[in-house]
Structure 1
Amino acid sequence: MHVLVLEENPSTVGGKERSTLDICYSLYQRGHHIHLLYAKEGDLLPDYQKFCDQVIQINTFKISHDQSLTTHVLFRLGSNLVKIYNIRGDIVYINQYHDSLFASALALFKNIPLLCHLRHPPPQTMYKKWRFGLKSVKQFIAISHQTKQDWVNQGFPENKITVVYNGIKPTLFTLAENSSLVKNQWGIDQGTKVIAYVGRLDKSKGLETLIRGFKSVLKAGINAILLIAGKPYLENLNYQNYLEKIADELGVKTAIKFTGHLENPIWVYQISDVTVLPSLDSEPFGRSIIESMACGTPVIGSCTGGIPEILTGEFKVGLFEAGNEQDLSTVLTKVIKWRETDPTLSHRCRNHIVEHFNLDRTVNGVEQIMLNLVKK
């Protein structure tokens, strides 16, 4: 099977991009042919170049909501289609609805099916261009049941959306052989509890709630630091400056460290006592949850979107009300001392992820959907 993959910016900016790379590489390992079409040169591009049959840069294929279908835009789309005329393809695969207009034109041009991965909740306003492009999608993949329901509520047919959870490589995200040693390597005192957030710095992620809840943890007499690993959306430092100002006003700035973007956040998970995902909106999944738990570090997360679909069973105790800093603080205070009270929790966290959210299960689901579409 030859898969035409559209990835506007192959980079480590977020979980969506890393998940797409994992799926594409796994499909390649299973004997399929991957052809990448991209617009911007991100830091994951060299990884794609190692296994793709073709890696082709084209003019941006993303049509923003404020762009009209002018002659110039249509000409640009047409020139891109001509550029990839000779590429063999059995299916077009996109990882965001924003690319659906160009992808639908490509699928029609090639007379092959279009598969769209729903990794975002639907926009509040579904612009005609996106709705028009999405009409050509033969099948959707949602990364959680809540994300599927969000799109069904927008009028998309339920029978065209299949849920396939994200997965990771358990051999990549592992338990620390000696977390104390790792802490020492990063200059963190053994008596200090480490709380971490890993992800994009964006208002929807609830970082203000986290910082305010963190202050309550310190007031409770817990010696802790907060690591915030990530970068602001679109390289805009204003939001990080705003968060630092809040921390300063609350008197907790010295206990918070902004690490910036990390290509490999595994060490953060391994030295942390708890990872927090305090999203305010309908978080489609939460890749940092499964990465952290695979490393043996428990997670607390807001009860929104797909997060409760990961934190199931005994891990439900890690859920708190979105935007409620006091609830976050209460749950965090209960969980943070698990190393002393429940030392086997790390292994149970990892087993939960290996069983339910490993990459092989994800690729099995995606591959089967692709094969079914190609056979039709």
Structure 2
Amino acid sequence: MKIPAFCQLSDFGPEVAGSFVDSMLSLGKYCRQQFGVETFFIFPERAKNRKWLSRFNDGDFPVGFVSAKRNVISDVRDLLKEYDPLIFHTHFSQFDLSPLLLKFLYFRHSKVVWSYHHSLSLTTKQRIKDWVKINCLGECFVDKFVAVGDAVYAGLLNAGLPEKKIALVYNGIDVERFSLNSSRSSIRNHLDIEDGSIVFLLLGRNPFIKGLDIFLKAAEEIIRKKETSARFIIVGKEETRKVISSYIKKADGLRKVIKVINPVDDFSSLLNAVDVFVSCSRSEGFSYAVVEAMAAKKILLSSNIQIPVISGLHGKAEGILVYPTEDWKSLSELMEKFLNMETSKRMSLGSANYAYVKNYFSVEIWAKKMGKMYHDLLKN
């Protein structure tokens, strides 16, 4: 007799696990405990040697790998030869179409779920592709679309999907992993951060989308006005470094106050070393990093984009200071406001952010909501 299973098919393979892996493991454990159903996790081959895979092995979860091509039907069928897939759930779009064919050819009873982790593309060409995919295939053959944020949900509605087909399920994080701080002083020493410095952190791996130019202009305005204790850390790789190097040629004063580092495995430790998390994003589906920073009791300076912690169902968290998207002068004013803020006020706002995330965005809450959706799909 074949083993009933939920099949998570994810185009995910970065070096750093991030909160997506926390979510998958939490959902797998929840489904095992609540329904007695195993979860089979399938990743692309590029994920094969990632350190974070050991966590799935530790949890005794079956894991398989497929090629990077879009059609992975034969690969998935071979992996599942001992399993009865009750639900195919895809993430990050690369493998979305394969479960439809698997269902049609081999697993007629299986349900199909597509998770959308990012807003739909703004380009005309991609919008047409999305419309065809969603309306000609998805609406007919996909049982449920999952939107991870309000902007994603609105995009799916605008693409023509009926409301009953979409589930709005905000992503969750392991809150305690980010609230248990390691030694702040040792991490700051490692990063060559001087005593008394106030550190603003930006994740800039996709320079335009993440608003790196806005962050640099705001930082330049801070140091132009007066001597400051502000320091600016930017996480990114070669593309990010090129943008910064080019900008600094025109604003040499930034050279002494900006530090660029590569992405780190232990993001919680990096958060512990900084004082403020800055999001200059021009668009987001759901920002794990924003919620993780809030769980680490950091104040957030954010562009006014449609993300759950600003415009979602639960209202805006108290420790978020918002500025108009693209307005670097307003961001600079918020930076200055933080620099002049009393320590007790900073701590109070940081604690408010932690409480907000714990109440609404824990990975346990996410797994429970996703599990209920699975239960309802199978019941119907």
TM over 0.5: yes
Partner in structure 2 of residue 58 of structure 1: 66
Shift of 1:319: 0.9
Shift of 1:254: 2.9
The question of whether the paired residues in 2 share the 8 Å contact of 1:10 and 1:45 is answered with: no
Shift of 1:34: 1.6
Among 130, 150, 154, the alignment partner of 1:149 is: 154
Partner in structure 2 of residue 107 of structure 1: 103
Q: Deviations over 1:257-307 (max 9, x none)?
A: 1110111111221121111010012x1121111111111111111111215
User: Distance between the aligned counterparts of 1:85 and 1:226, measured in 2?
Assistant: 48
Distance 1:79 1:297, change over 3 A: same
2:361 is equivalent to residue 357 of structure 1: yes
What's the Cα RMSD here? 2.4
* Equivalent position amino acid for 1:58 in 2: V
The question of whether the paired residues in 1 share the 8 Å contact of 2:23 and 2:172 is answered with: no
Question: Which residues of structure 2 form unaligned runs of 5+?
Answer: none
* Equivalent position amino acid for 1:110 in 2: F
Distance 1:240 1:88, change over 3 A: farther
User: Distance between the aligned counterparts of 1:48 and 1:11, measured in 2?
Assistant: 15
Shift of 1:338: 3.7
The question of whether the paired residues in 1 share the 8 Å contact of 2:323 and 2:331 is answered with: yes
Shift of 1:206: 0.6
Shift of 1:366: 0.8
After the TM superposition, which of the residue ranges 197-206 and 180-189 deviates more from structure 2?
Answer: 180-189
Q: Normalized against structure 1, the TM-score is what?
A: 0.85
Distance 1:18 1:89, change over 3 A: farther
The alignment partner of 2:6 has SS state of strand
Shift of 1:328: 1.1
The question of whether the paired residues in 2 share the 8 Å contact of 1:183 and 1:271 is answered with: yes
Partner in structure 2 of residue 348 of structure 1: 352
The question of whether the paired residues in 2 share the 8 Å contact of 1:176 and 1:270 is answered with: yes
Partner in structure 2 of residue 123 of structure 1: 121
After the TM superposition, which of the residue ranges 96-105 and 209-218 deviates more from structure 2?
Answer: 96-105
Off by >6 Å, runs of 4+ in structure 1: none
2:28 is equivalent to residue 28 of structure 1: yes
User: Distance between the aligned counterparts of 1:361 and 1:293, measured in 2?
Assistant: 17
Partner in structure 2 of residue 294 of structure 1: 295
User: Distance between the aligned counterparts of 1:91 and 1:288, measured in 2?
Assistant: 29
Partner in structure 2 of residue 72 of structure 1: none
* Equivalent position amino acid for 1:375 in 2: K
Among 229, 232, 235, the alignment partner of 1:229 is: 235
Distance 1:25 1:320, change over 3 A: same
The question of whether the paired residues in 2 share the 8 Å contact of 1:61 and 1:102 is answered with: no
Distance 1:6 1:182, change over 3 A: same
* Equivalent position amino acid for 1:170 in 2: V
Partner in structure 1 of residue 194 of structure 2: 189
Partner in structure 2 of residue 367 of structure 1: 371
Q: Normalized against structure 2, the TM-score is what?
A: 0.84
Identity of aligned residues (%): 18
Shift of 1:189: 1.5
Q: Deviations over 1:338-362 (max 9, x none)?
A: 4535133322221121112111111
**How many equivalent pairs are there?**
353
